[in-house]
Every structure is written in structure tokens, then in C-alpha cells.
Structure 1
């Protein structure tokens, strides 16, 4: 092992520890690590910006950017606030019914948009509804963020790790729907049952407080109707473009950018409203992360790890899928699932390339383990961190252990159900 490899591994592991412990902002850590890789000669400008193997994955960056722009414009319409108030009224003020509707709405929106954006939009309105009901908001917020992580697992765009997996594995929007949506539908039903048990003390009905919710007018939340119609049409076209990729031949990032460009033209909003919701720090974090991992690719570290794992697995891809599922769930509960998947994706790619069709389910094991494992702890997924921050800002703090005691239960149950799904669907039937 050369000095350069040792230095690169030191930089990478240090960055991982800083990301996991949040001692520094994630963007600062990722860009600092990328700069260190350049300084030790592990990569250069060609490797960072132009290499398909070791450079920044521009498909991921531009897909995220485009969806952030689309959602930012859609947010101006008040649609998300409308849905939350409508849900509360449909439930006629019964807390558990409200939670069920909000959980389903959050899961569906997370599959169509992304989980971080969804919780950013739904959490403040949930706090409003809970205030009117005098219900404790913490159980509702925890349930919503976990539903967003579950629902986001079903599609290519629902959870950032899926975007990385799709780009590295050459997987389509339809691939995710076909392989992951069935089990996610089952898990969502199971999760609702878990909510009824875990948060049972929060479901006390008070008729007078329910009347306050019924007095809300959801239509007042909606803004300009023409903008809402334009936004929904464009979102529909983008989703059609994702599904029709085999026919159109456009990558998801291209479809999303075309949709974002069209909506910007149609919306005619001032730039700060169009780009104000773009999470530039997240995009820069991804860029720095890709550079660090690409540096390890340049130095042959990723290939060496992949070869070692491949020799250990042999032809036992069923056992490998279960190990990938469980290991990814465990690791994603300790560190954010984005850097974890970014690191495992090239290794998984090598395993799938070597094993062919028998090894392809490893992609779904990685996605299920990383996405669902994000529910295990307060730092397991970006959406968790976002919701905890919102709760603290509104004086309803959620401690690490409050979140985690529920998260471990949900993760254990959902991952446990995924094991027979993987084995039965891909190896035993």
C-alpha cells in the first residue's frame, strides 16, 4: 500500500467521521475532503469534471437541481398546505385518522418528489393542525418523516440514494417502480399499524378542538390557480418522461431539466422565488463526495475492495443480497445514507458486472437497506435531520433517543419483511 493510498484513505475516513458526527457542516467536510484529495494527487481536473468513472456524477447533480426548481415553484401554489388541511378535515379531527392520511400523503409525495422536500413542506402545516387539535406534534412529525423515507424508496427520484444507485447501475424509473413499489406498498400498511401502537397515547379525541380544525378553509391556502395548473401539468409531463424513458431515450436528468426549464418559462416568477428553494449546500456536498470517492477509484481502492468482496461471496448471491440489505440498514442508521450509498455503489456495480442477472438484486438490497435503514436513528437520513430542526425551531424538540426508540422498531420490522421479499422474488421462485 503506497503512501498516497494511505493518505487518501485517511482523508476519506476522517471526512466520514465528521459527516457522521456532524462536527462540521456536511458541505464543508465534503469540499474540504475533495480539496485534500487534489492536494495529495489522488485526482485532478480531468478526473473530477470529465471522467465517467471517477468524476462528479452530473446526472445526479442536475436531476436534483431540476427537481428542486420544480418543487420550489410548486411550493408557491400552496398545494401542500391545501393537502394537509384537507386531510385534517376529511378525518373530522380524529387524531389517528389525521395521522393516517398525512402519512399516506407524505409517502406518495415523497415517491413523486423527494423526501427532504416533502417534509420541508408538510411539517409546518402538521404543526398548525396539531396546534388546533391541542395534540402532541412530535408523534405526527416522527411518523411523517418515517413515511417519507419509506415512500421515497419506491421510485428513482424519491430518495437521493436511489438517484445515485440508478445512475451507477444504469437503472430506469420503471425498474424502481417494478422492483420496489410492491414491497413498499406492503410496508406502508404495516407502518400505519405500527403507528397505531407506538403513538397510541397521542390519539385522544376532543370534539371542541376538532371543531377548530373543521373551521379551517383549505382553499385559502391555494395561490394563483393558473400557476397551480401549469405546475401540475409540467410535473405530470416529467413523470411521463421518466416512465417513457425506454422510448424517448432521455436520461432522467435531461427529462427533469427540460421540465424545470419549461416551468420556469411558464411561471414567470422572479429569480429568488424560482431558485430560493434550491439546496445549493446539498448539491455541493454531493459534488465533494463524488470527488472523494472518485479519488479512491483512481487509486484502485474501490476495485480492490470489490474484488475482495466478490471472492468472499462466490456464487452465493442470495446470501449476499440479505447481507447487503442488513448491512446497509445497520450502516445507514449510524451515518447518513447518502455518503454510504455513494461509497457502496461502485462496489455493487463491480459485483453485478461480475455476477450478471443473479447479482442484479444486489441493487435492490442496497436501496431497501439504505433507504429504510435511514429510519433507524435521528441521523440516518437527511429528512430526519430536517424535521428535527423544524421541530426545534417551533419549540417541540425531538431528542436523538426519542426518535431512535421508534426508529429501531420501524427499521427492524420493515427490513425483516424485506428479507423474504428478496429471497422469494429473486432466488426461490
Structure 2
């Protein structure tokens, strides 16, 4: 049975790598088959295998973002950034990159990419900046921002739900690293752009005349505030996000079908399937040798660095979410045996930074590349993407390693 479960797991990951367009369905199917084979598939056991709190957080955020997009919240923010630049395109690019970083810490990366890359491509049309350069940098800042909070991207949401770490602890531990890398990369971009002096006029013709978007933005920030205070108010994160989204739907009075169509069912199916596959691996105790190998060094800095760099490199080829669900199972067991919770930070940094390593490392990368191809008929090759990302990824990894050294020594 162990060999057969491992075979199913390998086939599922092969689909994730080589057939990503159908990987969500195949992963869920293989997950169900693996649980059935072990005789564990029933509605009483399912909550012990699948973390429904994580799924509800994702579903609630997807519904909320769909409503915010519909009311032009993100368009308003981007237009005000361009207007604030007073026609200076280079300043506009840098401000947009910062906005991508900040918004990606609160929203899913795909949303920020879909909003801002078209604006950056428009700016590229009236400057001599390469389309590919702007697209790659937007993807980098989006993944970087998503790494800095508990709700910034699906891997962090999974870590958040499994680890029982507080919402603010993610900000305290990850946001400083994100800001350091952000500042360094902005300085590099500014140096590269300094020879471009073209200035364009920005008009206010596209700005919305009503301010209803502000109300929905305030509602969203209230949901984020409740998530930050969920321990104090005694509510589960999944409950807060899902009920918050439903209240916004009720207030808006819109057709539910138009909103539910924006939900990323691929991600929800993929996560559910991966939970089942990992649950099957736990049942056959496949992680036991790794846990036994790491247990003697469970409190050492070496283990944290191994997790950081191995998850970073694996993410480049397996993508962030599968790597997170694989590692979090091992880390959870090690923490129960006395390992420090800092191992979760090593994982969050590894998959967050590794998500920039290759064009298939995260959904954000795939969507960003597709936007470039659809808008400008330009294709980002694997080599172009990875070679452009290699230096900032390695720099981010080194900064993260220094952070872990200080965490363990201080």
C-alpha cells in the first residue's frame, strides 16, 4: 500500500509540473483516491485531513476581492498613483511597484498583477523601457509583498492556519525583510531608469465621479482589522473572512452568480487535493524518516537554513503551494517535538522568495506572463525570466539567512 500511495503522489505532482492547466482536478481526484484506499474517506474524518479554516479564508478573500474589483477600488488606487506622479513616468513606475508590494500583502497576487501590469505596459509604450523588464519587476514585487503577511498569498494562509501563529507575528517577522528587499530593488530600478526623462501628461478623465468605492475599501480594511484581532474577539479566521464577504454581498445586493464566477476554484481544488495527499502520506508515516533525521538538530540554526534554501529551490520547480503543504506537515511534527516556531518563518521566506525563481513557481508568474503575451504579443521565456530573477532572489535569500541567524542567536 505504501508503494501505491507514493506512486499516486508522484503522478499527482507530475501533473502539477507538466500539466498545470488540469492539475487542480487531477490533484483532487488523486487525493480522494489515496484517502479511499486507506479507508479514511468519510465526512467525520474529513475535517481532520482537510483544513477547512484555510479554505474558508481563501474563499472569503476571493469573494471580497471580486466585489472590490467590481466597484473599481483597485482602478481608483492605480489612477491616483499615476496622477500623483504629475506625469513623471519613472516616478509612476516606482510608485506602482510600491503599490503592488503593499496591496499584495493584503490581496491575492493575481489580482494586483491583473490590475497593474496593463498600466505599466501603457507607460512602457510612451517610454523606451522594455515591456519584459516592467512585467518581471511587477511579478517580483507582487510575490515579495504576498510573503509579508498572513493573508498575502495561499502558502502563508496555509502556514497561518496550521501553525496557530498570530496575525501580527507575520508582520513583525516578515514585513521588515520585505521592506529591505523592496528598498534595495527600488534603488536598483531607479538607477536603471535614470537616463529616461520623458514626461507625459495624465488626465483625470478616467477617474470615477462617485465615491462608493471608498465604502467598500473601508469594509475590506475592517475585515483585515478583525483578522488581526481574531484572537481577542474569539473568532476563527475562516469565519471572519467568509461572513465579511457575505455581508458585503448582502449590502451590495448584487447577483451572486456574477461574484462567484470570480472565485479561483482551481486553487481551492488544488489545496483540498494536496491536503488529502499529504494526509495519506501521514497515515503511512512516510515523513517519519525525515522527522527522525531532523529531530537531533530540531533546535539548531542549521535546520532553519536547510528549510529556507531547500524550500526556496524546490518552489522554483514544484511551485509554492505544493511545497508549503509538503513542508508544513514535517514542521508541525517537529514543533510538537520541541523545535522552535522559527522554522515556520524559514518556510514562509523560502516559498515566498522561491516563488520568484522561475515562471512556473507561482500562479502570479504565469498570469503576469500571460498578460504580457495577450497585450503586447511578447513571450517571456523560461531562461529570460529566471536569469532576470536570479540576482534579486539570491539577494533575498541571503538577507533571509541573516535574519534567521539573528533570530537564533539573539
Using the alignment, how far apart are the partners of 2:44 and 2:370 within structure 1? 36
Using the alignment, how far apart are the partners of 2:107 and 2:209 within structure 1? 20
Within a 5 Å distance, the mapping from 1:361-380 to structure 2 comes to: 361-380=342-361
1:20 corresponds to:
17
Using the alignment, how far apart are the partners of 1:73 and 1:267 within structure 2? 9
The Cα shift of 1:220 comes to 2.7
Using the alignment, how far apart are the partners of 2:127 and 2:10 within structure 1? 47
1:403-425 CA-to-partner distances (Å, cap 9, x unmatched) read 1111111110011111111111x
The Cα shift of 1:42 comes to 6.1
Within a 5 Å distance, the mapping from 1:163-242 to structure 2 comes to: 163-196=157-190, 200=192, 204-207=196-199, 210-211=200-201, 214=202, 216-217=203-204, 220-222=206-208, 225-226=211-212, 228-242=213-227
1:170-198 CA-to-partner distances (Å, cap 9, x unmatched) read 1121120111112211111112123345x
Choose from 143, 152, 155 the match for 1:149. Answer: 143
TM-score relative to the length of structure 1: 0.89
2:307 corresponds to:
324
Q: Is this contact kept in 2: 1:66–1:253, CA < 8 A? A: yes
Using the alignment, how far apart are the partners of 1:96 and 1:233 within structure 2? 30
1:235-270 CA-to-partner distances (Å, cap 9, x unmatched) read 121111012122111122111112101111111122
Using the alignment, how far apart are the partners of 1:185 and 1:421 within structure 2? 13
Using the alignment, how far apart are the partners of 2:264 and 2:372 within structure 1? 20
The Cα shift of 1:342 comes to 0.6
1:49 pairs with 2:32:
no
Q: Is this contact kept in 1: 2:93–2:120, CA < 8 A? A: no
Q: Is this contact kept in 2: 1:60–1:253, CA < 8 A? A: yes
Using the alignment, how far apart are the partners of 1:314 and 1:247 within structure 2? 31
Using the alignment, how far apart are the partners of 2:95 and 2:398 within structure 1? 25
The Cα shift of 1:140 comes to 1.4
TM-score relative to the length of structure 2: 0.93
The Cα shift of 1:17 comes to 2.3
Q: Is this contact kept in 2: 1:306–1:351, CA < 8 A? A: yes
2:321 corresponds to:
338
Choose from 90, 96, 106 the match for 1:112. Answer: 106
Within a 5 Å distance, the mapping from 1:374-389 to structure 2 comes to: 374-389=355-370
- Which residues of structure 1 form unaligned runs of 5+? none
- Which residues of structure 2 form unaligned runs of 5+? none
Evaluate the alpha carbon distance shift between residue 28 and residue 294 of structure 1 in structure 2; reply closer, same or farther with a 3 A threshold: same
Within a 5 Å distance, the mapping from 1:220-299 to structure 2 comes to: 220-222=206-208, 225-226=211-212, 228-299=213-284
1:217-244 CA-to-partner distances (Å, cap 9, x unmatched) read 2x63437533x13312211211110121
Could you say what the CA RMSD is over the residues aligned between the two structures, in angstroms?
2.1
1:73 pairs with 2:67:
yes
Secondary structure of 1:301's aligned partner: coil
Evaluate the alpha carbon distance shift between residue 31 and residue 204 of structure 1 in structure 2; reply closer, same or farther with a 3 A threshold: same
1:51-77 CA-to-partner distances (Å, cap 9, x unmatched) read 2xxx11111111011001111000012
Using the alignment, how far apart are the partners of 1:342 and 1:180 within structure 2? 19
Using the alignment, how far apart are the partners of 1:144 and 1:250 within structure 2? 35
Would you say how many aligned residue pairs link Structure 1 and Structure 2? 409
The Cα shift of 1:279 comes to 0.8
Secondary structure of 2:238's aligned partner: helix
1:155-174 CA-to-partner distances (Å, cap 9, x unmatched) read 10001100111111111211
Evaluate the alpha carbon distance shift between residue 270 and residue 124 of structure 1 in structure 2; reply closer, same or farther with a 3 A threshold: farther
The Cα shift of 1:46 comes to 4.2
Using the alignment, how far apart are the partners of 1:314 and 1:67 within structure 2? 35
Using the alignment, how far apart are the partners of 2:239 and 2:225 within structure 1? 13
1:84 corresponds to:
78
Using the alignment, how far apart are the partners of 1:201 and 1:379 within structure 2? 28
Q: Is this contact kept in 1: 2:35–2:277, CA < 8 A? A: no
Evaluate the alpha carbon distance shift between residue 139 and residue 118 of structure 1 in structure 2; reply closer, same or farther with a 3 A threshold: same
1:121 pairs with 2:104:
no
Using the alignment, how far apart are the partners of 2:257 and 2:209 within structure 1? 17
